[in-house]
Chains A and B, each alone.
Chain A
Amino acid sequence: MKRKVFIKNTALAALLPFILDALSACNSNTRKQNRILVLIQLVGGNDGLNTLIPLDNYKKLTDARPNLFIPENKILGIKGTSLTGLHPSLAGIKDLYENGLLGFIQGVGYENQNYSHFRSSDIWLTGSKSTEVLYTGWMARYLETRFKNYPEGFPNAQHPDPPAIKIGDTGSYLFQGTKMDMSIVIDPSTTFEPISVDSFDNESTGYAAAEVKSIREILQQTERYSKVIKDALATSFQHSTLYPKSGVNSLADQLKVVAKLIKGGLGTSIYLVDLKGFDTHSAQVDSSNTTKGLHADLLAKLSQAVTCFWDDVNIMGREKDITGITFSEFGRRIVSNSAYGTDHGAAQPLMFFGTNINSGIIGTNPVIPDKVNNTDNLAMQFDFKNVFASVLKKWMETSDDKVKEIFPENYPDIEIFKA
């Protein structure tokens, strides 16, 4: 018999289609519609200078990155300013901006920039200073103010839903709490498998005891939340027709799950999604056309994903309750390298969207030195902890005292949200 192996690029995902489109009985939505924050992590270090392009510094920019700059006639102009433009892949972002639904904060970073991906991600996710090491995520510290002693006593009648949802196949430092990870992880490429467990005593000894205990807790929490998640995922929802096919844009796939969960009535207020691949040391742009290449593709995905998601938010009529913000572990170097790429840098622009935000650009265009050398980096205008402190205060309606427990410095408010 002829051996017939068919090598195909079909992962388990294809064998076990995600239950997104499964229909179920209508899930009546009686819970309080709380505010929701969606964090979009751009993994690898996004090149801000080619994202939100400083036109007043254009000549210096072309000198600093002769093989990488976007031709002036390709840059998308934005209404209301002649000083700043957008990467040509960001048409959707431009629309949102011009409709008053999106804004930028220039020059976000922290003191003593660390150029290691891992350390810098840890700093962003734990909300630490560059010089200190924290073992809990800043978001978990915030959630612990709302979910005291988590996981003990949760879920309960007042808090039937998970504190946070991480979309993807692993957890995030952002949600690492004092006692355990405060998120439930949902992987859009596989099925969400509910877990049932029935006994929880612990007789193991040695170092394994703590490990076994933590796994038990994860099992327990997942079991406790699996019904609300399954129910939410099973809700029927006619998504925006703007979404690409599944598997084409991983961020759009993830945000679609977020939309589904929100539509399904999940009362979770914090979601984390990500888009990977921003570490563009080479081939950030195509050598023949700088408007194409890795970075252009990534920004196009970001723009498309946010556009589809916002359309979903409109369809379900939740635009007043939902806001999103992007971040990356650092920006990239001012000077490009010979491989049509950029090395690790410092400050970066963040994007935020929603109906309650102040559309516009906070801060000023980054300054590029007259004589730029390849170690120069963009200066910080806003500490990222200051940005997130403002988000917690204004969007999540957290008191000053509580914000100070999470970010101890005294930060002035950044006017991201309407008064």
Chain B
Amino acid sequence: MSGIPTYSLTPIKRELKKEDLLHLLRRTLFGVGNKELSFFKNKNILQSLDILLKQSPEPHAPLQEDSDVVDPLVPTGQTWINAPYENDLIENRRGLMLKMWWTGQVINRDYSLTEKMTLFWHNHFVTEMDIVKDSRYSYRYIAMLRSHSLGNFKKLIREGTTNIAMLVYLNGNTNVKGEPNENYSRELMELFTLGKEHGVNYTEDDIKAAARVLCGWKDDKETLQVKFHPSLHDSDDKKFSSFFDNHIIKGRTATEGSNETDELIDMIFKKSETAKFVCRNLYRWFVSSHVDENIESRIIEPLSKILINNNYEVVPVLRTLLSSEHFFNPVFRGCIVKNPVEFFIGAIQQFDVVTTADLYKNHIPWLQFYFYTADLSMDIGNPPSVAGWAAYYQPPKFHQWWVNSASLGLRTKILGDLSTSEGLIFNGPYIKFDFPHFLRQFQNPDNPDKLIEDCTKLLCAVEISQTDTRNLKSILLSGQQADHYWTDAWNEYVINSADMMTKSVIETRLQSFFLKLFKMPEYQMM
């Protein structure tokens, strides 16, 4: 056992070792290869975090792709985010374009937590495209998450409360005077801010009162704006329970009524439970799903104070957490199961790929990549429920919900398809892993022992067993005993890589080698 976690948020004092850097990058980026390692190699933790915590520039809006459904109003290459809603079929294709665009942003991530945090907020502050059913709305929701990804939690919740997609998703747009719809106010408290455990005891009546506060917000499909309608607002006073110190939100008339929404958010954020709740979720996202009393009192509490003292800006919290002695304790290495985006997009980033498409510009593969991650049960844009993915809230398994008898087989199968000599073909371009090229980054790819060590240290967050090491070596040597069989084959390939025969000797062995690796539990971890 590598020891009990140090419950200290003080910054790590020792120099970062390679393992520490790998740990930091695995948890903050999608996939770590040699490129990322060399970029961060000579930076200290503060310099690294300055880079990681810098918000990426806003991406270009999603574009109309060539499609089997022609959109008469939006030519290929133009964006549809402000175009009229036409019909369900066109809307369906826009939904796919939005999801492939989002996948493209993850592929294109720079060395910033922006994408990781956008996904975090999506999981925390959920809408589902299948329910919103208007991709122009969902684009606005995703853009909001991204713009606040390294911003202010309170502002995100305030803005999101009247976000156009959220109003549809949790029925805020039908929440009117005399007929309150409590769907949003319930989830606002239970899932977005306060949580329900740890002694949080707001009441059913609080939920109803909050719904009345929020009456009167409507979306407009024509202008794509959200407007407050005083005539639909309940202008009576709203009384809250002792949990909220019996606070009364004074009923207001005319456009003043919309200020009640601000007051409600202020009231909820006055409760320190709100800061603790989001810090606990951040902790589970970045460090470990295991939160005990010590973690609660010595890590979550102090983090929540930092959040409150910084007026709900998240960067100071992340900076503290991700530079802490606690975070770098080796006990946490590799203890999180990669989610499907981390797993699949991570693999695309880790390996050198050969393709006839430019992965960063050409959108063709993005759609396929999106389908892969959705098949592995992370359909971005469409979490399974308003609570997000079970991996981030459902004890005792937490992220083990990602792995089961169906998904583990499919994980191997998908990476296996990318490992074949033909690669995967999508409507023209193909893509495949270039393993021989990947090996050239290591110092001694001709030495099977060194190769296995370098490879598995980079790709697996958890050390693999001696048996697995032996088995991997046996693949490289085709069951022979002497190392030189591999060394000779590799050297011959280096000299004569154009020769199909020598290349295929190397390639077939590496395909089996990596297929075995992809299947290992250690490769599922980060």
Contact surface of A with B, Cβ cutoff 8 Å = 3-13, 115-119, 135, 169-171, 173, 176, 181, 184-187, 189-195, 197-199, 201-208, 211-216, 218-219, 221-222, 225-226, 276, 281-282, 337-339, 341, 343-344, 374-375
User: Contacts of B196 on A, CB cut-off 8 Å?
Assistant: 116, 119
Partner pick for A204 among B367, B397, B522, CB 8 A cutoff: B522
Shortest B299–chain A CB gap in Å is 14
**Chain B hits for A117, CB < 8 A:** 385-387
Q: Which residue in A208, A219, A374 is a CB contact (below 8 Å) of B408?
A: A219
Establish whether residues B396 and A135, one from each chain, have CB atoms under 8 Å apart when the complex forms: yes
Nearest Cβ on chain A to B102's Cβ, whole angstroms? 14
**CB-CB under 8 A for A214 and B404, given A207-B290, A208-B334:** no
20 contacts between A and B (CB under 8 A): A3-B364, A6-B66, A7-B367, A12-B372, A185-B404, A186-B406, A187-B407, A189-B375, A190-B410, A191-B413, A193-B410, A193-B413, A203-B464, A204-B462, A206-B333, A212-B334, A215-B337, A215-B521, A218-B408, A219-B519
The answer to whether A343 touches B181, judged by C-beta atoms less than 8 angstroms apart, is yes
Let me know if A282 and B174 touch, CB within 8 A.
yes
Cα distance A121–B56 in the bound complex, in angstroms: 39
CB-defined contacts of A208 to chain B, threshold 8 Å: 333-335, 461-462, 525
**B357-389 vs A, Cβ < 8 Å mask (1 yes, 0 no):** 000001110010001101101000000111100
- A-B contact sample (17 more), CB < 8 A, given A4-B428, A215-B337, A344-B186: A6-B427, A7-B96, A7-B100, A8-B68, A115-B186, A187-B410, A189-B375, A193-B410, A194-B409, A195-B412, A199-B468, A204-B462, A208-B334, A213-B521, A222-B408, A337-B181, A339-B174
Q: Which residues of the partner chain A approach B443 to less than 8 Å between Cβ atoms?
A: none
Are A215 and B1 closer than 8 Å at their CB atoms? no
CA distance A170 to B407 in the complex (A): 8
What's the least CB distance linking B177 to chain A, in Å?
Answer: 10
What CA separation (Å) do A27 and B151 show in the bound complex? 60
Chain B residue numbers with a CB within 8 Å of A186 are: 405-406
Tell me the bound Cα distance from A118 to B186 in angstroms. 12
A173 touches B208 (CB 8 A): no
Q: How many A-B residue pairs have CB under 8 A?
A: 212
Q: Is the CB of B68 within 8 A of A207?
A: no
Given the contacts A7-B96, A169-B406, A190-B375, A207 and B519 also touching, CB distance less than 8 Å: no
Which residues does chain A contribute within 8 Å of B171, judged by CB atoms?
Answer: 281-282, 337, 339, 341
Kindly state the separation between the CA atoms of A298 and B91 in the bound complex, as whole angstroms: 22
Given contacts A116-B190, A208-B461, contact A169 B407 (CB under 8 A): yes
Measured between beta carbons, the chain B residues less than 8 angstroms from A185 are: 404-407
Query: What chain B residues lie within 8 Å of A191 (beta carbons)?
Result: 410, 413
The complex places the Cα of A394 from the Cα of B400 at a distance, in Å, of: 34
For the complex, give the distance between the alpha carbons of A284 and B179 in Å. 16
B286 at the interface (CB under 8 A from A): no
**Interface size on B (CB < 8 Å)?**
84
The distance from the CB of A345 to the nearest CB of chain B, in whole angstroms, is 12
B468 surroundings in chain A (CB, below 8 A): 199
In the complex the two chains form, is A281's CB within 8 Å of B462's CB?
A: no
Contact of A206 with B466 at beta-carbon distance under 8 Å, contacts A115-B204, A282-B171 already known: no
The residue in A5, A181, A207 that gathers the most chain B C-beta atoms within 10 A of its C-beta is A5
- State the Cβ distance, B280 to closest chain A Cβ, in Å: 16
B115 at the A interface (CB under 8 A)? no
A6 in complex: contacting residue of B68, B181, B333, B374, CB < 8 Å: B68
Given contacts A211-B335, A212-B521, contact A190 B288 (CB under 8 A): no
Q: How far is the CA of A341 from the CA of B179 in the complex (A)?
A: 11
- Compute how far the CA of A225 lies from the CA of B409 in the bound complex, rounded to whole angstroms: 13
B82-109 CB contacts (< 8 Å) to partner A: 92-93, 96-97, 100
Partner of B2, one of A116, A194, A206, A214: A206
Whether B266 sits at the interface, judged by CB under 8 Å, is: no
Pick the most buried of A13, A170, A218: most chain B CB atoms within 10 A of its CB. A170
Does B260 sit at the interface, judged by CB under 8 A?
A: no
Q: Which B residues between 52 and 104 are near A, CB-CB below 8 angstroms?
A: 65-69, 92-93, 96-97, 100
What is the CA–CA distance of A220 and B386 in the complex, to the nearest angstrom? 33
The 5 closest A-B pairs by CB, nearest first: A193-B409, A339-B174, A215-B521, A207-B335, A338-B179
Q: Please give, as numbers and ranges, the residues of chain A lying within 8 Å of B396 by CB-CB distance.
A: 135, 176
Q: Which of A203, A206, A337, A341 has the most CB of B within 10 A?
A: A206
Contact yes or no, B406 A190, CB < 8 A? yes
Q: How far apart are the CA atoms of A93 and B346 in the complex, in Å? A: 47
Cα-based distance from A337 to B215 in the complex (angstroms): 13
Residues in B486-526 with C-beta less than 8 Å from chain A: 519, 521-522, 524-525
Provide the residues of chain B in CB contact with A197, threshold 8 Å: 519
In the assembled complex, the Cα of A234 lies from the Cα of B186 at a distance in Å of 47
Which residue of the partner chain A has the closest CB to B66? A5
Asked if B393 is at the interface (CB within 8 A of a chain A CB), the reply is yes
**Contact between A225 and B405, CB atoms less than 8 A apart:** yes
Q: A211's contact among B331, B337, B385, B412, by CB below 8 Å, is which?
A: B337
Given contacts A6-B427, A12-B375, A117-B385, whether A206 and B332 have CB atoms under 8 Å apart is yes
**Residues B335 and A5 in contact, CB atoms below 8 Å apart:** no
Say yes or no: is B182 at the interface (Cβ < 8 Å to chain A).
Answer: yes
Cross-interface CB contact of B412 among A4, A193, A201, A225, cutoff 8 Å: A193
B371 / chain A contacts, CB cutoff of 8 Å:
10-12
B471 an interface residue at 8 Å Cβ cutoff? yes
Q: Kindly state whether residue B463 has any CB partner on chain A within 8 Å.
A: yes
* Bound-complex Cα distance A106 to B178 (A): 31
B390 within 8 A of A: yes
Q: Does B465 contact A (CB under 8 A)?
A: yes
- By a CB distance below 8 angstroms, the chain A residues around B385 are 117-118
Confirm or deny: B403 has a beta carbon within 8 angstroms of a beta carbon on chain A.
yes
On chain B, the residues within 8 Å of A135 by CB distance are 395-396
